[in-house]
Amino acid sequence: MKRFSIFVLTFMILFTSIFLSSTYVAYAKDNLDLSGEGILLMDYDSGAILYEKNSHKKLYPASTTKIMTGILAIENGNMENIIKIDPEIIELTKGSHIALDYDEEVSFNDLLNAMLIASANDAALAIGKNISGSIDGFVKLMNSKAKELGALETNFVNPNGLHDDNHVTTAYDLALIAKYAMKNDIFRSIVKKDSYTIGATNKKEEPRYLYSTNKFLYGNDRINLNGQTIPIKYNGVSGIKTGYTDHAKNCLVTFAERNGQRLLVVVLKSEGKEVYADTHKLLNYGFNNFKNTVIGHVNEFMGNIDIENGNLPYVSSVLKEDISYPLSIDNKDKVIKKINLDKEIKTPIAKGDTLGNVEYYLGENLIGKGDIVSTLDVESIPPMRLYKRILRKWYIILFILFIIFRAIQISKRSKRRKKRRRERMIEYSPNIR
């Protein structure tokens, strides 16, 4: 049984349990007066939910659907391909489009940019059919990817988000999809553009000049925010996607970064420019009330672990990497650390081998987890042969031999005494002849 020689460092809980709310429920005490029906504010790096409103309610995503279409296009398509537009794409196109023509030849890259920047529905259909061979085949790919990402309440029916009663998602699911998509460099570079130009094609002599549907990226309009009129543009925003249909109303997924902190906001079913006002409020709330805090430092000492059958009696352990979490000012002193060692730690051990993990809790919520690793190489020592074991205990053997020798001496003396007694008895007894 391995013993772990360490004092578990904990932060004392300063208040009663009613005040131990983590950032997962921090929104409960704040009313941001938001118009949107489904809302989520997420810390991008940790995935912590900083604010939510009906985040698991199924709603229509409109063109925010194209986030999924876009990331699948990048992962499965070829940017250099030239796609020939077939009649099905033209016939299925409704809503926003870039006027793709019959048998027009357009590059895959141009279609991807048109879809993510100008929200072109025809481009989304063309991309889906090019990747999977059919629109239905691509929709299956979309739903499969959604399940893989944990977006379990999402069901896609088409690649562009045109209304269908069965085409639904949630603010939470959409945040998971957006978080995944924004990890991709190509996707991230496209959604932050405010314009794009498609050159002449075999069907169009003039270039197409496309502009982003996301007013955050150019900000000429103004909105009312808490009684004040301010520009829509928000410093630090770099995408990602808008959406609108009569049923879905205004939808917006936003990524923003300030002072090293990155936030994701999803607003579904908001009215008009209120979708931007909602997002402003959520971003301000996130940046003003939470700060990414290192709760576990790389190479932080985690203790000495006793080792059996090793060339060293113990091995020192440290935290493998930094663990960060967005903490509010009120929660900085409420983090509790719990260390878990592997049940069996056997030699040989190499430097960097995982020996267990450390978990960080805020109230009952697990907010971070990291590996505990060895700082040293520890070699195995094979079991010694019997004679080696005996030789290593020479002082015990010497003591035993001494005891045996003394016992023999005492026994001999005892025998001699008995013999002399018998002889005396014979000499002085008259009855003995």
What mean pLDDT comes out for the span 122-140?
97
Q: What is the pLDDT of residue 428?
A: 63
Give the separation between CA 122 and CA 96, rounded to whole angstroms: 8
Lowest mean pLDDT among 89-98, 203-212, 320-329: 320-329
Residue 364: DSSP 8-state: T
C-beta of residue 137 within 8 angstroms of C-beta of residue 159: no
pLDDT at 128 over 60: yes
Query: How many angstroms separate the CA atoms of 253 and 234, rounded?
Result: 14
In percent, the amount of the chain with pLDDT more than 70 equals 88
User: Rounded distance, CA 190 to CA 74, Å?
Assistant: 11
Check residue 392 and give its pLDDT: 65
Cis peptide before 348 (omega within 30 of 0): yes
Distance, in Å, from the CA atom of 146 to the CA atom of 32, rounded to the nearest integer, reads: 30
Model pLDDT for residues 138-194, shown as the tens digit of each residue: 999 999 999 999 999 999 999 999 999 999 999 999 999 999 999 999 999 999 999
User: pLDDT at position 389, please?
Assistant: 55
Report the pLDDT averaged over residues 100-113. 97
Residues 6+ away with beta carbon under 8 Å from 18: none
What token pair was written down for 13?
Answer: 């809980």
CB 127 within 8 A of CB 77: yes
Phi then psi for 16, rounded to 5 degrees? Answer: -75, 170
Give me the DSSP letters along 252-318: EEEEEEETTEEEEEEEEEE-TTHHHHHHHHHHHHHHHH-EEEEEE-TT-EEEEEE-SSBSSSEEEEE
Look up tokens 């607003």; give the residue: 267
**Which tokens is 370 given?**
């990291």
pLDDT digits (tens, 9 = 90+) for 55-92: 999 999 999 999 999 999 999 999 999 999 999 999 99
Helices 135-148 & 121-132, crossing angle to 10 degrees? Answer: 90
pLDDT at 30: 66
Q: How far apart are CA 320 and CA 198, in angstroms?
A: 47
Q: How far is the C-alpha of 155 from the C-alpha of 68, rounded, in Å? A: 12
CA distance 359 to 361: 7
Place 127 in a pLDDT band, splitting at 50, 70 and 90.
very high
